[in-house]
C-alpha cells in the first residue's frame, strides 16, 4: 500500500517513472522527459542527475535540433554500469545469467544437478553459481541491482515457497529462505530477490527485453511436461487472487478426454503436454519421464515414425484449440510459444497455427501473432533478470500477500490449497 506522505517512496516512484519512460522512448531530453511524465523540469533535472550518478541512465551526444537555446542532451538506459542476475531452477539443471539493464547477456552458465531429488543440494548449487557469477570478470565495474528466479511448479511468490514441482518431485520447498541463507555474508545478501513461476518469468522476458512495442496484452505459453502460461495485461503480470492465474494446462479442451493429473478429463495438460505425448506413444511410463525417453520421442518424431508423428499432430491440433481459447479470452496482441516442446518444431506448432487460422477465417477477425521466444533455451533465466528489472522499476507494485487480499497458499483451507496444487 502507498502511504500518503511517504516522501522517499514518492521520490523512488518518480525516479523509476523516468527510467521506464526511457525504456519505451530512449533518447528523450530532460525537457521532453518532464513533459512525458508530468513532472517539473527542475524535479526531472535533479532526479536525472541522481540516476546518472547511480548508473541507471547515460547521456548521448548532444542533439542538434535547430532551435534556439541550450541544445538537448538525449538520455537512455546505461548498458555499462549495472547488472541483473537471473536463474532458471529447471528440471535437470539450473541455468544462470547476468544481463545489463537492456537484457544483453554478459555471462551465463549451466549447472547440471548431481541429484535432482536433493532439493537443498540443487538450490545450493544455484546459489553458489549466482555468487560466483556476480564477481566474474564480465561484471567487473558493474553493480548488481537484483536477482530473479523462475521455478517450475506452484509458487507462492509472496513467500518464495515452491509448493509443488511435479516433474521434479519437490513439495513445500522454501526456496527464498534457502537462497537467503546461502547469500548471507556475500555481496548478494541485501539484494532484492524475486521468485515466480517459470511461465510468468518467461513472459516478463518478452515484455521487458524483447524491444517489441505494441505487444500488450501478451501471453507466454509454456509447453513442457505440462502446460502453463504467463499473461501480461497493461504492462503487469496477471497473477489472480492466489497467484495461480495462467494455469491453462487445466482448461478442458475435450470433455470426456484422457484423465489428467488433476483428476479431471480432457485438460490441455493431458492432450498437449510432453508427458501426455510420451504416454500416448510409449504407454504410461514412470512419472516424471526421463530425459532419455524425451529424446527418444523427439528423434522418432523427426524421423517420421508413424505413431509418434500422429501423436504430435493430434497434440498440435489440440494446441490450436487452446490458442483459440486464449485469443477469445484475452484478445492478446501476441502469443509466444516456448518450452521444451519447441524441439518438435512445426510438426507441433504447424497444426496449431492452422486450427487458429481456421477459427480466425470463420469469424473474419485477425488472429494474434504467434511466435517463438526471442531468447531460446535461456528465456527463463533471462526472464529472471527481466523480473528483477520489472519490479525494481515499479516500486509502487506491492510484492506481498496484500495484493491477493492477505491470502497465502499456506493459509487457505486444506481442500482449496490441495486443489490448487493438483493443478500442476
**10-residue averages of pLDDT along the chain (424 residues):** 66 94 93 95 96 95 55 90 97 95 97 95 98 96 97 88 85 95 95 95 93 80 93 90 82 92 90 93 72 89 93 97 96 94 95 96 94 91 97 76 40 45 43
Listed residue (118, 106, 122) closest to 179, CA to CA? 122
On the question of a common fold for 82-202+379-395 and 214-373, the answer reads: yes
Listed residue (368, 289, 277, 283) closest to 326, CA to CA? 368
The ranges assigned to domains in the chain are: 7-77, 82-202+379-395, 214-373
Contact 308, 300 (CB under 8 A): yes
Q: Tell me the fold of 82-202+379-395.
A: Nucleotidyltransferase; domain 5 (3.30.420)
Which pLDDT value is given to residue 70? 58
Which pLDDT value is given to residue 274? 93
pTM reported for the whole predicted model = 0.88
Which pLDDT value is given to residue 213? 67
Which pLDDT value is given to residue 62? 57
Q: What is the CATH number of domain 214-373?
A: 3.30.420.40
Q: Tell me the fold of 7-77.
A: Arc Repressor Mutant, subunit A (1.10.10)
Separation in Å, CA 291 to CA 152, 178, 278, 287, 288: 16, 27, 11, 11, 9
Which pLDDT value is given to residue 415? 43
Amino acid at each position: 500500500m502507498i502511504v500518503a506522505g511517504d516522501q522517499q517512496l514518492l521520490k523512488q516512484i518518480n525516479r523509476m517513472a523516468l527510467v521506464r519512460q526511457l525504456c519505451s522512448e530512449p533518447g528523450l531530453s530532460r525537457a521532453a522527459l518532464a513533459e512525458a511524465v508530468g513532472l517539473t523540469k527542475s524535479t526531472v533535472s535533479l532526479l536525472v542527475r541522481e540516476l546518472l550518478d547511480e548508473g541507471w541512465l547515460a547521456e548521448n551526444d548532444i542533439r542538434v535540433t535547430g532551435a534556439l537555446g541550450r541544445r538537448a542532451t538525449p538520455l537512455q538506459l546505461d548498458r555499462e554500469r549495472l547488472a541483473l542476475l537471473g536463474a532458471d531452477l529447471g528440471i535437470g539443471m539450473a541455468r544462470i545469467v547476468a544481463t545489463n539493464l537492456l537484457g544483453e547477456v554478459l555471462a551465463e552458465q549451466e549447472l547440471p544437478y548431481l541429484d535432482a531429488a536433493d532439493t537443498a543440494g540443487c538450490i545450493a548449487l544455484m546459489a553458489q553459481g549466482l555468487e560466483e557469477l556476480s564477481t566474474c570478470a564480465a561484471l567487473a565495474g558493474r553493480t548488481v541491482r537484483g536477482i530473479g528466479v523462475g521455478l517450475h511448479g506452484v509458487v507462492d511468490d509472496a513467500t518464495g515457497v515452491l509448493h509443488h514441482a511435479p516433474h521434479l518431485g519437490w513439495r513445500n520447498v522454501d526456496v527464498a529462505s534457502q537462497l537467503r541463507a546461502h547469500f548471507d555474508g556475500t555481496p548478494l545478501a541485501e539484494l532484492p530477490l524475486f521468485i515466480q513461476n517459470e511461465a510468468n518469468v518467461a513472459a516478463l522476458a518478452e515484455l521487458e527485453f524483447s524491444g517489441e512495442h505494441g505487444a500488450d496484452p501478451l501471453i507466454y505459453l509454456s509447453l513442457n511436461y505440462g502446460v502453463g502460461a504467463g499473461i501480461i495485461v497493461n504492462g503487469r503480470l496477471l497473477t489472480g487472487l492466489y497467484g495461480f492465474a495462467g494455469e491453462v494446462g487445466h482448461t478442458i479442451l475435450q470433455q470426456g478426454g484422457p484423465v489428467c493429473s488433476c483428476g479431471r478429463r480432457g485438460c490441455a495438460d493431458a492432450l498437449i503436454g510432453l508427458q501426455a505425448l510420451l504416454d500416448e506413444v510409449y504407454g504410461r511410463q514412470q512419472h516424471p519421464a526421463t530425459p532419455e525417453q524425451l529424446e527418444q520421442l523427439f528423434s522418432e518424431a523427426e524421423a517420421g515414425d508413424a505413431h509418434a508423428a500422429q501423436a504430435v499432430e493430434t497434440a498440435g491440433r489440440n494446441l490450436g484449440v487452446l490458442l483459440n481459447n486464449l485469443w477469445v479470452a484475452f484478445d492478446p496482441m501476441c502469443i509466444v510459444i516456448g518450452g521444451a516442446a519447441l524441439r518438435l518444431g512445426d510438426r507441433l506448432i504447424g497444426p496449431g497455427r492452422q486450427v487458429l487460422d481456421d477459427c480466425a477465417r470463420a469469424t473474419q477477425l485477425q488472429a494474434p501473432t504467434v511466435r517463438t521466444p526471442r531468447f531460446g533455451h535461456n528465456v527463463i533465466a533471462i526472464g529472471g533478470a527481466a523480473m528483477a528489472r520489472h519490479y525494481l522499476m515499479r516500486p509502487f507494485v506491492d510484492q506481498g500477500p496484500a495484493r491477493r487480499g492477505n491470502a497465502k497458499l499456506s493459509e487457505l483451507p486444506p481442500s482449496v490449497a490441495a486443489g490448487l496444487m493438483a493443478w500442476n
